[in-house]
Amino acid sequence: MAIIVHIYPNSRQLQQTADGTEAASANDNSRLSLEEFDVLADKLADLSMKIDGPDAQPLSDYAMSREGIYEDHP
């Protein structure tokens, strides 16, 4: 099962779609309450922990840098 989550941090909007289905509306400008955002963020964290496990390491600064991303390209 795949879950795609779009998070818009400046407006605290979070849109979640599951199993490749489309979101209800890309133009829905309703805002989540802080409690709703927290619940969905916790679900995302739980899913991440389930997929990656508790020993997952964050990517290094080099891996996230332009040089790290494009190191195999001229």
Separation of CA 8 from chain center? 10
pLDDT at 65: 93
Mean pLDDT per 10-residue segment, the chain (74 residues) = 60 56 51 86 88 86 91 81
**DSSP class per residue in the chain:** --EEEEEETTTTEEEEEETTPPPS-TT--PPPPHHHHHHHHHHHHHHHHHHH-TTPPPPPHHHHSHHHHTTT--
In degrees to the nearest 10, what's the CA dihedral of 5, 14, 35, 2?
Answer: -20
Q: Report pTM.
A: 0.43
pLDDT at 60: 92
pLDDT at 12: 55
In the numeric block, which tokens belong to residue 34? 């802080």
Domain spans in the chain, listed from the N-terminal domain onward: 1-11+32-53
